[in-house]
Structures are given as C-alpha cells and as structure tokens.
Structure 1
C-alpha cells in the first residue's frame, strides 16, 4: 500500500510518558475491542508508539486473543501493554501524549483529573484527548470529524470520526494487509489448510463456502432453506453465538451442546460449527470464503478488505435508524456499479436487515446473474475506499497537527 510512512510522528521511545492510552469498554463481546485492538497493534508495529490499552472485560477480549490471561491485570502482547480497567483504576495513572476514549466510553475520574492537571501547567506536555467514534458512511461525518469540544474543566476533547471520505479519519488497514490477502487467495491450498486447521471437514476447493457472523434474523433461516436445495454443495461456517439462535429448527441439539468442528448435512447445505479464532485467522477465514455475512464494525470492514461479496447485518436501532446508516454505505459502495448489480446487492442487504424472508430469497437467487461483476467490484473497492491513507496514519498526523 504505497504512500504510507512510519516517520510521520517522531517519538522519543526512551521517554515512558510518550505512550498513548486507549480506553475501551467491551460491547457486544467483540466489536469495540476488535477495532481498538487492531488500532493498538498497528500503532505499535508501524509507528513504534508505546500503547497502553485499558479494557474492562478481559474475558470477552480473550475470545479473540487466546493468549490473553483474563486473570492477569497487566500484560504485554504484540508489544501492547494491556491493563485491566477497573473503576477506579488499580494503579496510579500517568497520562502519555494521547488519551483515546474509544466509542464514547466514560473515562475514569482519575484519568480526567490527570488530563486536567497537565493542562493547567503550561510547562508540561498536556495530552491530546480524543473520542474515537464509530465508523459511518453518512455525509454529516465529514463535517464533524476533528471538531473540538470544551469540557467542564476547560480541556478540549477532539472528536475523531473514521469514514470513507478524505475529509474523515479514514479506515483501519494495516500496511501489508492487501499483499498478504492477495498471496493467500492466489492458491486454494491456503484456504483448504485453514479449514482443516479449524476442524472443518468435507470442503472441496470448488464448493461454495459462506461465513456467517450475524445477529438473529429469520432471513438467515430462509437462506439456509434455499441453500439446502442448491444443485451444488454449499458450506455455511457459523460460530457458536447469535447467528445460531435463528437456526434452532435445523439443529439436532441445543446450541449450548454444540461443539466446534461439528457439522450437519441438510440436503446440499452443510452447517459447520466454527471455533473462535483470533483476528488473523478471522481475516483469513473471510479471505477464504466466497461470500461473507458479517455484523458490527470490525467484521464489516474486514469483509470489505477481504475483496469478496458480503452482507452487512447492522445492529438494529430505534426507529430503524440503522437502515439509514446501511443506505448511506450502500450508496457509496454501489457508486460505480451498473443499476442491475446495485439493485440486486442492495435489496439482498435490505431484506436481510429487515428480516424479510421472501425478499431475501428472491434477491439472493438473482445474485447469480451478477456474481462476476459483483466479485470484480469487491476486488477494486478496497483500494478506492482507502484513499491512500489508513486510519492510523491519519490519526498520527492529526495528533501531530493538534
């Protein structure tokens, strides 16, 4: 990914207070922590910035980071200092040059006090306080990105909005990700080896493989009924969790009794129970499938970087506002697509999110006629979406400028 530079932000690594602090509360198990963990790793790896990552739920965090010890209050993994975030904090807090509250999590009072005290002394290096917001494709994001908000103590907090335009904070993407993906997808042996590693049996290179990481919806059950009548084999890879709650009528036992590696053949459809994976293997899983159904923010973006067609099951909100967010993204994603492709892909996503069983089946069947063009678009999209600068590089430059 050309144009990246690890020299944007010059640091004195020997000064321990040149670290950044990132605070994250774990929401919906993996979404928020998935984003902040990727960002923390990238800042360490590509910019040599010492990162202290404060997390309130290490048990959930360990599901995507198996080497993490949930009982250990402080540990270093991949160069990131990970701390158990108790309120109040168990240790004295010393602010570094940047303090990030991820997704509007409320900072501990002692952290706010430390920031305020440093701002009151002009001879000290006061930290830059950022609120890392959720990713959105809505037009208003560009106008709000980078705006300051004066707090009660007089300290400014800056709002950092990830986004798809050059006027936003960008998208999380590691420097070597696309080249690693291309190398992986160039040879079928990689995906077959991954399936074997995950305990998935009976998948041939030419079979259709679909990963499923959704919320509950009857649309998923309707698709499974359709897939079981397919003229060719279809494999649906589903972890234990919310997706399976929609498929209880297809399962021979209770969800809690399922074991990773189990599979159930229903006509042409084979349901595979996935083990939990770390983020690297999750990326490879998305690279290895023909179609990905994802939810949340982290999985949503990684599905785009996988260069494969996908459905985004967005978290339901009051008054169906989540559909506004979905429509905003679909408008961007389909900007250069032919009308028939735009209509088919958009209607599949809308039907899935609305739980419309009839519509999702009808439009899924129409995907076959546009599949090649949709696949070609999925390959081109990541380069167009990144716009020559990822979130980490824009974030580092933002801090330098502020």
Structure 2
C-alpha cells in the first residue's frame, strides 16, 4: 500500500519521531510512504539519509502552505491518509484527489482510508474512542469518513510500534562496546543513567543528592537539547568538585544528537532511564529497564490524570508512583522520595515492574500485532 502521513512539528520532536518510526517500519515491511512534514530538518540527525531519499520506500516531502499545484499533479494516489496527532491534511491536497476521484481518468479510484492517528494514553476512554468513525461534514471530501486510531497499552487499542528487528538488535547489543564507541569512561561500580527531560523542578535536588559525598557513584548521560542545557545550568550552580583520586560521585557526559536507533541503544546501555513524551516512553518500555517518565506539561494539568492512568496500567510500586508525581510537578520534591533513584533495593523493584510490563506488551504484540500491523489490518478491512 501507499501511505500519506502528515505531521506538524510542534516543539519537542516527539511528533516527527513517531511519524518517522512508523513510516520507516511500514516501508521496511514492503509499503511505500510519503511523509509530509512542515519542518523536516531534525530528520538530518534522527534518521541520517532520510532527507536525501536514501531510505528505501520513504519519501520526505516538505509540507508548505499551500502545496504547489504542480507537485500535487505529479503524485500517484495513495491508499491511506494519516493525520498524525490532530493535524489537518492540507485542504488543497484533499481537493486535488477529490477532483481526481470524480474524473474520467480515475477509473475505480476512491478516496483513501482516512485515519486520525491520536496521542498515546492509558486513560480508560481511549478504548471507547479507538476505531470510531468521524463523518466529514464539510469541504471537498464531505460525506467521507475519518477513523480515530489510538495507540495504547491494551488489546482494545491500536498497540505500540515495535520494529520487526528490534528484539534481535536488543539481544545482540553490547553496552560496554557502545560506551567505548562514544568515548564514555564509566568508573567501576558507577550506575549509568540516561536523562531525556524538559526542565523538571526535581532535577536540581536530585543532582545535588547524587553529587553529595558518600552517595553511590552515578554516571549521567544527558541527551542533546533542552535536557542538556538544563542539566549543565544546574551542574554549574552546584559546582561539582572532584573527590578522591579525581573521581566525582556524580559524573556527567553530554551527548551529541543521537539518531533514533542510537537513542534505543542509549536506553539499553543504562541501568535507569529518564524519558519524556510518547516516543521515548515506548522505547523505554521495550528496553525493559527501570525508567521515570516526564509527560509534556499542560496548562490545565490534564497530564496528571494521564500519568495516574499510566501508573495504574504499569502496576507501579508506591516508590515509583511517588517519584513520578514529584518528577512531574504534582508534588514538591523531597529528599526521601528522590533517594529512591539511588537505592539498589528500590531500583530492583522498579526493574521488576518494567520487565513485567514489557512482557505483557510482548505477549499482546505476539497475539495481535504491533501498531504498524494493526494499522495495516484496519486499513485492509476498511478498503
């Protein structure tokens, strides 16, 4: 099948990250994908070669306003339209193919299956909304139907994306070799932790705890962008000082921008992962390591209910629930709760929770398919 996936980049790149992973996986399974993005530049480091057309089956097109008529005339029709995360397909694009469907040249062509690929949530209403129709009442495609498609964590949703080669890559992964390739020297006994976040208020007291004399050594791997800028600001304020033999209790490595496969490997290399947004949450679940998730903060605090629903699904132990609430600004950070991220027994509980969740998802995917499989199956049914 041929897919048109439309994506608008808001500000944190999770949207383009999810759309690229989905498009690349559909292409790897034999489909062709046109990915329309209003700001495709981040793909230069997220998926090297994508902008130059070096990914078989995926064509990245800049979504301008309006789309050039000459470009539209040269496009073969697609089988599927996907509006990702509530964006609206360009009206001139819809009008062009609606006109084509009415023309004599169209033969038996009908407008494609039209999907609204929604945000990821564990809230109960997602199961009720998944796969519901949404009649198109206005415009050149009036009378057609869109379909809501919700990714999710339960069999009654659209599942999560899992590339067909993911488990094999994970099984072959060598964390020591990965750290060496990135010139990261970790002291014996230090816990390796990844940090991908916005600007949580709890980060400063957490780094102060890890830097305090007598604390268990931590080597923090900080991702490029907002997380790196915020962590560097805090570490400068703390004034990290070398301890015995030039060692610090807290060592920090600031990473350059990683491609998506490299980010997966970062999670596999660490004993604790701090992640943010949708794409990295899914990757943390497949990694099966202890993790803490920061949701995108919303002005009306809607992310609080979203977090609680996820923690319920995760079957999170009490220590992990409290840490998540403080990490997401629902409670003021306290030394007692933040200390859990350095306690071996507590981290073992978090690891068991993550492994159990991963196993539940693996069982579900084996029985019903991942997000790409479920999408393709749904489209085939509607065609």
Q: Same fold (TM over 0.5)?
A: yes
Following the alignment from structure 1 to structure 2, what is the Cα–Cα distance between the partners of residues 150 and 194?
A: 50
Out of 286, 290, 303, which is 1:305 matched to? 286
Q: Residue 88 of structure 1 corresponds to which residue in structure 2?
A: 66
Following the alignment from structure 2 to structure 1, what is the Cα–Cα distance between the partners of residues 37 and 43?
A: 8
* Pair 1:225 & 2:199 matched: no
Q: Residue 207 of structure 1 corresponds to which residue in structure 2?
A: 190
Q: Residue 175 of structure 2 corresponds to which residue in structure 1?
A: 191
Following the alignment from structure 1 to structure 2, what is the Cα–Cα distance between the partners of residues 88 and 167?
A: 38
* Pair 1:234 & 2:218 matched: yes
Q: Residue 136 of structure 1 corresponds to which residue in structure 2?
A: 121
Following the alignment from structure 1 to structure 2, what is the Cα–Cα distance between the partners of residues 23 and 174?
A: 21
Following the alignment from structure 2 to structure 1, what is the Cα–Cα distance between the partners of residues 12 and 77?
A: 27
Out of 142, 163, 169, which is 1:180 matched to? 169
Out of 42, 56, 60, which is 2:42 matched to? 60
How far does residue 118 in structure 1 lie from its aligned partner after superposition?
5.5
C-alpha spacing 1:109/1:94, structure 2 compared with 1 (3 Å): farther
C-alpha spacing 1:29/1:266, structure 2 compared with 1 (3 Å): farther
Does the 8 Å contact 2:271/2:290 carry over to 1?
yes
- TM-score in terms of structure 1 length: 0.83
* Pair 1:290 & 2:264 matched: no
Following the alignment from structure 2 to structure 1, what is the Cα–Cα distance between the partners of residues 210 and 332?
A: 13
Task: Please show how residues 40-119 of structure 1 align to structure 2 within 5 Å.
Answer: 40-46=23-29, 48-69=30-51, 75-90=53-68, 91-92=71-72, 93-117=75-99
Does the 8 Å contact 2:228/2:254 carry over to 1?
no
Following the alignment from structure 1 to structure 2, what is the Cα–Cα distance between the partners of residues 106 and 65?
A: 25
* Pair 1:390 & 2:373 matched: no
C-alpha spacing 1:76/1:246, structure 2 compared with 1 (3 Å): closer
Q: Residue 357 of structure 2 corresponds to which residue in structure 1?
A: 381
- Match of 1:223, SS state, is helix
Q: RMSD of aligned C-alpha atoms?
A: 2.3
How far does residue 108 in structure 1 lie from its aligned partner after superposition?
1.1
Out of 273, 289, 309, which is 2:254 matched to? 273
How far does residue 132 in structure 1 lie from its aligned partner after superposition?
0.6
- Match of 2:154, SS state, is coil
Q: How many residues align?
A: 356
Q: Residue 340 of structure 2 corresponds to which residue in structure 1?
A: 366
C-alpha spacing 1:183/1:125, structure 2 compared with 1 (3 Å): same
- TM-score in terms of structure 2 length: 0.86
How far does residue 287 in structure 1 lie from its aligned partner after superposition?
0.6
Q: Residue 330 of structure 1 corresponds to which residue in structure 2?
A: 311
How far does residue 266 in structure 1 lie from its aligned partner after superposition?
8.4
More divergent stretch after superposition (236-245 vs 123-132): 236-245
C-alpha spacing 1:111/1:295, structure 2 compared with 1 (3 Å): same
* Pair 1:243 & 2:227 matched: yes
How far does residue 148 in structure 1 lie from its aligned partner after superposition?
1.2
Following the alignment from structure 1 to structure 2, what is the Cα–Cα distance between the partners of residues 159 and 398?
A: 11
Does the 8 Å contact 2:195/2:220 carry over to 1?
yes
- Match of 2:19, SS state, is helix
